[in-house]
Amino acid sequence: MGAGRSVRCIHIVERRPGTKQGNRGVLPRFAIDVAAWVALRDIRPLRFGASIACGVLLSACAGSPLSDYDLNVPAQTLRVTTAPAVADGRTRFREIFCAIAASRQAADAEAVACENFLLRLSDEAAPLEIQPSLPEADLRLRVILVGGLLSDCVHDLAALYMEASQALRERGYQVELIPVGGLSSSRRNAQQIAAFVSRLDLQPDEKLVLIGHSKGAIDILQFLVDFPDSRETVVAVASIAGAINGSPLADWVGESARPWLGWVPESWCTPGDSGALDDLERSKRMDWWLRNRLPDSVRYFSVVAFTRLEEAAWPLRETHGFLSYVDPRNDGQLIFYDQVIPGGTLLGYANTDHWGVALPLEFAQSWLALRPEYVRPFPRTALLEAVLLYIAEDLRRTSTGQGEEAAP
Amino acid sequence: MSSRRPLIFVLATLGLFGCAPQLLEYDATAPAAVLAPIAVPGIEDARPEFRQIFCTQLTEAELASGESCSGYLHRLRDEAPPESAVPIVPMRAASVRILLIPGALSECVGTSGLPFRSGAERLRELGYRVETVKLSGRSGTEHNAAQIADELRRNPREADAPLVLIGYSKGVNDALIFLRRYPDLARQVDALVSVAGSVNGSPLADRYSGIYSMFAGLSVGNCPSGDGQMVASLERPRNLRWLAENPLPTHVQYFSLGAYSDRRHFARALRLFFASDLTRMEPRNDGQTLFYDQIIPGSVLLGYVNGDHWDVAIPLREKMPFFAGNTAGSADFPRSELLQSIVFFVEQYLSTHRSVDTAPDHMPVEAPPGRGRAK
């Protein structure tokens, strides 16, 4: 796999929250650098020897990632030059999310927990001092969920927002899950979404909100581009840990992973066209953003997920470690700046891994969801409800021409 | 239901265990991209037009012709075709004044650390007024911004000559801080060009700033310690925060020229010390910064030159032919032609996009974060 790429040894260190990571092994490395610099600069006879010594020593071990897990940074996106800026909805979203979370649990415990669930980066505006009020729910919004890579393989084990969907249905929402191909390309899944939507019996005042997790988010965007008629019924799209720019992991495995996908038994997953990983390559996603323009009539929202390596579910820690060399702020599958839809509104940063933000593994497959004891399960129901309330409020505001909370 | 089916989740992690790979491949033609705070403005793309001018310069110098020009200036997949470029005939009017702003450690390697030294000479022969600001090579951006301010106090803009700052590497950060810190003096500036600028900082600074601070007070020969903030001021979180919190003055026109190359074309010293870590993060880097960290938000993108961080701007090979040379054995980057192209392009751009005979009279509406010399 990944033939021809350089592979170097790393050490993934268990760290407690609040500890600084990233400087491990720096001192000896720096000493080598200084020695080499001195040789390089002043002592001519040593130059060649120093270069050889440094080359050998430095190539032996790759050391730690260059950047730390640092929350004192602004919200940021990696985008092609033609992509529009992103509006900031974090302050209002935090109000809504925390109010919902607090209404479910004891207020004293939740005051801390809410901050822990939504990460606060350096540029998030301070909350208003007045007691925030919750927006009114709009039950005319029909919610369609779209899962990500391999989602149809596990929909009966840990379906996307299984428990959250049930809770929302009890509150009067209509929530449905589209069983898209977990191994298929976005183009093929877009057709499945279109077929599903065309079968819906929508009332005249009902509109669709499409919520995609991981690759499901880009399947939805592909659907909007490929089926322009969808714009008449879809009013909003929410990406939850969406693979908007893809993942460097997919670039790495690339073509070499295709045989793996073929190995998955048909009794487990719909075979599809096996194009899922291709569509998740970052380079291809960036090309996609150059070629395609999203319809302006639809509103776009992004919830980003990332957490510390040691707080991720154990199967995701290895990939988290790999991605940490690109950026430690990742969810085990995606980097935080790759999860934001250009031209949309950023709602917040969920402090959890790629599965914890959307999949109820704790119930059905708890052995896969093993995290340190101090990590509480992410309140997915509160998240989903907060997203819907934010969208309802946003749609009301834009329909009355009041503009956005924070314009780009 | 198969009892093994939950293993599909493990498969979802792509079955990756063991060693940390380089995830991304070097793809010289992948689209241009910018890593920026969410609300910063977009980029104006002038790559075809700049290519036209640069390739003309290379052809005149008999260094390249036709498509071979792409050897010096990457052609990315998202660059519009050459025929879409608006034909440009350089004015060569010597109508602008150029202030070159060197990068980190500039004073430590003598004249070899001064960016575009011979190119500046050639522009002077063409009648341009070109100066290089003397900056503290090991000081932070606040300190050096004050030095740029001092320079403009001593030699203010002439009424009929638009002032163009051309920053190299950390010099770009120094210039950006200057523009915000000294709004009265910044009124004199018409344009800022970033060449391999560490606009978002460098991940290398994130790693080494703590270590460097232990040695920061050590002065070595012609390399005084300055305020010791050289590396700290290049930390990425710090620079990204600054960009998010400080809208840039709108009266200045910004231009960005990035740089990256494959490792074979890196100077040996850059390759030895930094290339592997940076490449694992993003293969398109110049040995010091990542390609998506080099672009000023809201700027005009001129392109990406194919060279390492040193070769594109400073003649370090004069001083250290082995360590500043590369294993590919490529010749020096045509820095003089590059500087001329930048100046000709900017001169043309300013003449067609704004009135150039008066100093700009409008300032950003945001309150500046502070005035006076930084401590």
Strand pairing partners for B267?
B326
Extents of the domains making up chain A: 26-60, 87-399
Interface test with A, best of B272, B278, B284 (most A CBs within 10 A): B272
Handedness of CA B131, B134, B139, B144 (dihedral sign): negative
CA dist B280 and B289 (Å) reads 12
Contacts of A32 (CB under 8 A, 6+ apart): A53, A54, A57, A58
Contact (CB<8Å) A51/B322: yes
Q: Is the pLDDT of residue A11 over 90?
A: no
| H or E element at residue A209 | strand A207-213
Q: In this structure, what token pair is assigned to residue B81?
A: 């075709």
**Closest Cα in chain B, distance from residue A1 (Å):** 10
Query: How far, CA to CA in Å, does B2 sit from each of A156, A261, A355, A365, B286?
Result: 12, 17, 21, 14, 51
In a 13 Å sphere around the CA of A30, the CA atoms on its Cβ side amount to 17
Contact (CB<8Å) B34/A51: no
Among the partner-chain residues A7, A70, A340, the one whose CB lies closest to the CB of B19 is: A7
Contact (CB<8Å) B211/A153: no
**A142 vs A63, higher pLDDT:** A142
Among the partner-chain residues A78, A257, A332, the one whose CB lies closest to the CB of B33 is: A78
CA dist B95 and B306 (Å) reads 29
Quick count: other Cβ atoms within 10 Å of Cβ A126? 7
Helices (H), A200-238: 215-226
Extents of the domains making up chain B: 36-352
Quick count: other Cβ atoms within 10 Å of Cβ B214? 10
The closest alpha carbon to A292, from A279, A304, A301, belongs to: A279
Out of A253-262, A311-320, B345-354, least confident range: A253-262
Q: In this structure, what token pair is assigned to residue A212?
A: 């995609």
Indicate the length of chain B as a whole number.
375
SS3 call for B68 = helix
* CATH no. of A87-399: 3.40.50.1820
CB contacts of B34 in chain A (<8 Å) are 78-81
Contact (CB<8Å) A286/B320: no
CA dist A343 and B120 (Å) reads 42
Q: How confident is the model at residue B319 (pLDDT cuts 50, 70, 90)?
A: confident
Residue with tokens 């060279």: B307
User: In whole numbers, what is the pLDDT of chain A averaged over residues?
Assistant: 81
Looking at chain A, the whole-number percentage of residues with pLDDT higher than 90 is: 54
How close are the terminal C-alpha atoms of chain A, in Å? 41
Cα–Cα–Cα angle for A223, A225, A229, nearest 5°?
Answer: 80
Convert the pLDDT of each residue in B197-223 to its tens digit.
999 999 999 988 888 888 888 888 888
**Closest Cα in chain A, distance from residue B209 (Å):** 10
Mean pLDDT of A260-267: 70
Q: Is the pLDDT of residue B330 over 60?
A: yes
Q: Which residue of A has its CA nearest to B23?
A: A252
Q: Is the pLDDT of residue B61 over 60?
A: yes
How close are the terminal C-alpha atoms of chain B, in Å? 69
The closest alpha carbon to B3, from A268, A23, A183, A181, belongs to: A268
Long-range contacts of B273-278 (CB under 8 A, 24+ apart): B273/A33, B273/A36, B273/A54, B273/A58, B274/B204, B276/A6, B276/A8, B276/A58, B276/A59, B276/A62, B277/A62, B277/A63, B277/A66, B277/B203, B277/B204, B277/B207, B278/A66, B278/B203, B278/B204
Q: How confident is the model at residue A49 (pLDDT cuts 50, 70, 90)?
A: very low
CA dist B95 and A143 (Å) reads 61
Give me the total of CB pairs closer than 8 Å, taking one residue from chain A and one from chain B: 243
Contact (CB<8Å) B8/A286: no
Per-residue b or e along B300-332, where b marks 16 or more CB atoms closer than 10 Å to that residue's CB: bbbbbbbbbbbbbbbbbbeebeebbbbeeebee
**Closest Cα in chain B, distance from residue A140 (Å):** 31
Which pLDDT score is estimated for B358? 43
**A61 vs B348, higher pLDDT:** B348
Cite the beta strand spans of A98-206 per DSSP E.
118-119, 141-146, 174-178
Convert the pLDDT of each residue in B118-158 to its tens digit.
999 999 999 999 999 999 999 999 999 999 999 999 999 98
Cite the beta strand spans of chain B per DSSP E.
20-21, 33-37, 44-45, 97-101, 129-132, 163-168, 189-195, 253-260, 300-306
Mean pLDDT of B15-38: 75
Mention the CATH class of domain B36-352. alpha beta
| H or E element at residue B209 | helix B203-215
Q: How confident is the model at residue B102 (pLDDT cuts 50, 70, 90)?
A: very high
Q: Is the pLDDT of residue A35 over 70?
A: no
Q: In this structure, what token pair is assigned to residue A239?
A: 């990406």
**Closest Cα in chain A, distance from residue B153 (Å):** 34
Quick count: other Cβ atoms within 10 Å of Cβ A343? 17
Q: Is the pLDDT of residue B357 over 50?
A: no
Handedness of CA B9, B11, B17, B23 (dihedral sign): negative
Interface test with B, best of A322, A327, A341 (most B CBs within 10 A): A322
The closest alpha carbon to B206, from B274, B284, B285, belongs to: B274
- A5 and B22 in contact (C-beta within 8 Å)? yes
CB contacts of B42 in chain A (<8 Å) are 81-85
In a 13 Å sphere around the CA of B18, the CA atoms on its Cβ side amount to 8
CA dist B295 and B303 (Å) reads 10
SS3 call for B351 = helix
Interface test with A, best of B10, B14, B50, B276 (most A CBs within 10 A): B14
Out of A102-116, A129-143, A300-314, A347-361, least confident range: A102-116
Q: Which residue of A has its CA nearest to B289?
A: A66
CA dist A227 and B260 (Å) reads 39
Convert the pLDDT of each residue in A366-382 to its tens digit.
777 888 888 888 999 99
SS3 call for A181 = coil
CA dist A77 and A336 (Å) reads 8
Contact (CB<8Å) A8/B20: yes
Contact (CB<8Å) B42/A84: yes
Which pLDDT score is estimated for A39? 44
pTM of the model: 0.86
Residue type, A39: A
The closest alpha carbon to A349, from A88, A101, A134, belongs to: A88
Which pLDDT score is estimated for A402? 60
**Closest Cα in chain A, distance from residue B286 (Å):** 16
Quick count: other Cβ atoms within 10 Å of Cβ A256? 12
Q: How confident is the model at residue A132 (pLDDT cuts 50, 70, 90)?
A: confident
Mean pLDDT of A91-100: 93
Which pLDDT score is estimated for A57? 45
Looking at chain A, the whole-number percentage of residues with pLDDT higher than 70 is: 77
Which pLDDT score is estimated for B127? 95
Mean pLDDT of A6-21: 33
Q: Is the pLDDT of residue A91 over 50?
A: yes
Mean pLDDT of B335-362: 80
Quick count: other Cβ atoms within 10 Å of Cβ B121? 12
Out of A198-202, B112-116, B255-259, B357-361, least confident range: B357-361
Mean pLDDT of A284-308: 95
* Burial of A355: CB neighbours in 10 Å, binned 0-12, 13-18, 19+: buried
Handedness of CA B48, B51, B53, B56 (dihedral sign): negative
Q: Is the pLDDT of residue A256 over 80?
A: no
- Tell me if ipTM is over 0.85: yes
Handedness of CA A148, A153, A158, A163 (dihedral sign): positive
Residue with tokens 């600074």: B205
The closest alpha carbon to B147, from B127, B168, B132, belongs to: B132
Mean pLDDT of B224-243: 94
Quick count: other Cβ atoms within 10 Å of Cβ A376? 14
Q: Which residue of B has its CA nearest to A289?
A: B31
Contact (CB<8Å) B38/A85: yes
